[in-house]
Structure 1
Amino acid sequence: MRITVFRRLMADEFGPGRAETLSRDHVFGELGGRTVEQALAAGTSAKDVWRAVCDAFEIPPERR
């Protein structure tokens, strides 16, 4: 998954403003105690980050 696709999925799911804030501020245990931005910068794949977001926020399977 490309980061641009990931960002679009985030914006579609949470709205552009909340998606940006969530990516920057929310710490995910599944990402090693990192935020989305930190995980992506560390080289975690966008697909793995999206899965962690979906799990944390209980995104329904049809929107994953």
Structure 2
Amino acid sequence: MGVSNISVSVDFAKTNIEMMSYIKELGVNSYLYNVNIESWTNENFVLKYFMDNAYGLYSDDWQF
């Protein structure tokens, strides 16, 4: 495929869980962005529910 890294929004990851799992199986690292844009997308929530299928995340404001 030639792609090794992608970035997707947290909202995309939320609505495409099976696709995110498949992307990970292909060996593609996905990075999540738009953390802290919505009230439900804080770092703790993203780490708990989305990091099984993602490699990393972008966040301007870490609130742990």
The structure in which a higher percent of residues are helix is: 1
| TM-score normalised by length of structure 1 | 0.30
The structure in which a higher percent of residues are strand is: 2
Report which of the two structures shows the higher radius of gyration computed on alpha carbons.
2
